[in-house]
């Protein structure tokens, strides 16, 4: 039986499942922890999310559960997300309707950046410049992301231009309108953080772009046609050939 015949939002489910699978391939996951979510109603309060304690490398489109950010009873359902997932993603979806897709990981280089006393990402190359003036730094980590912590984080994302939260002492949270946009941003933020951390490791002075050029580069990349959609389409093509069960 094809699950697509019995489930809504099949395209979105398949895109999200592909993002989980590729995140695992890139070793940007935490095994059975961390979460991605995608809003499926206008207000953003209903969203798809990975089930509790399922490894990113195994997630299929049909595994994704539907969560209601306004209904705590969601936590009582089958394969319900753990309270920290509901708290963080529910808080962001409730408080930031522009955050249609939310991806939170403890990827290595983004988390190293989040662990520095100065967690800014200077524009030392094109990838780093992508995020110039387009992130916020949360320096108020308050423990596991239960509901209050999720609401606090959501308040830091009230500017729609800021689509990355460097979560001090925690990791990174990326928002966007679609799975393709959000995953593309997640991928390039990790690449940018890796470049910066490795540059610091040389102990040599950094070649930092002027603000004017960094901003120009960021704007050019924001309007670069279809790069995010083509990125995800290529990843799905690889998965279709090698691990097609992601879309089942």
Determine the pLDDT at residue 1. 44
Q: Which of 30-34, 114-118, 158-162, 175-179 shows the lowest per-residue confidence on average (mean pLDDT)?
A: 30-34
Instruction: Give the three-class secondary structure for 53.
Output: coil
CATH code, 167? 3.40.225.10
More confident call, 139 vs 145: 139
Across residues 85-101, what is the average pLDDT?
A: 91
Between CA 129 and CA 31 the distance in angstroms is 30
Confidence bin at 98 (pLDDT 50/70/90): very high
Determine the pLDDT at residue 242. 98
Question: 84 lies in which domain range?
Answer: 3-247
Length of the chain: 248
Across residues 44-73, what is the average pLDDT?
A: 92
Main-chain phi, psi angles of 239, to 5 degrees: -65, -40
> In the numeric block, which tokens belong to residue 220?
């050019």
Does the pLDDT at position 58 exceed 60? Answer: yes
Main-chain phi, psi angles of 105, to 5 degrees: -140, 165
More confident call, 117 vs 148: 117
Does the pLDDT at position 235 exceed 60? Answer: yes
More confident call, 2 vs 159: 159
> In the numeric block, which tokens belong to residue 70?
């306004």
Does the pLDDT at position 248 exceed 70? Answer: yes
Between CA 226 and CA 108 the distance in angstroms is 28
Q: What is the pLDDT of residues 193-208, one digit of tens each?
A: 999 999 999 999 999 9
User: What is the number of structural domains in the chain?
Assistant: 1
Q: Residue with structure tokens 């110039």?
A: 132
Between CA 245 and CA 248 the distance in angstroms is 5
With CA atoms as reference, report the closest residue to 26 among 175, 191, 198, 208. Answer: 191
Between CA 29 and CA 154 the distance in angstroms is 22
With CA atoms as reference, report the closest residue to 152 among 161, 143, 163. Answer: 143
């Amino acid at each position: 039986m094809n699950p697509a015949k019995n489930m809504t939002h099949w395209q979105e489910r398949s895109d999200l499942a592909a993002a989980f699978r590729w995140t695992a391939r890139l070793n940007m996951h935490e095994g059975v922890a961390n979460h991605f979510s995608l809003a499926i109603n206008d207000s953003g309060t209903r969203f798809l999310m990975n089930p509790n304690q399922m490894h990113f490398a195994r997630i299929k489109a049909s595994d994704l559960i539907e969560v209601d950010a306004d209904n705590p009873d969601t936590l009582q359902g089958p394969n319900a997300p753990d309270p920290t997932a509901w708290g963080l993603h529910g808080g962001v979806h409730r408080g930031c309707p522009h955050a249609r897709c939310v991806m939170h990981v403890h990827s290595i280089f983004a988390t190293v950046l989040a662990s520095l006393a100065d967690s800014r990402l200077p524009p030392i190359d094109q990838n780093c410049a992508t995020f110039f003036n387009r992130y916020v730094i949360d320096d108020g980590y308050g423990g596991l992301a239960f509901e209050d912590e999720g609401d606090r984080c959501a308040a830091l994302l009230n500017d729609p231009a800021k689509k990355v939260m460097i979560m001090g002492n925690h990791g990174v949270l990326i928002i966007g309108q679609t799975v393709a946009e959000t995953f593309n941003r997640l991928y390039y933020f990790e690449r940018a953080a890796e470049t910066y951390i490795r540059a610091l490791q040389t102990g040599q002075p950094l070649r930092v772009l002027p603000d004017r050029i960094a901003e120009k580069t960021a704007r050019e990349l924001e309007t670069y046609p279809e790069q995010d959609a083509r990125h995800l389409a290529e990843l799905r093509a690889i998965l279709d050939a090698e691990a097609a069960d992601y879309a089942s």
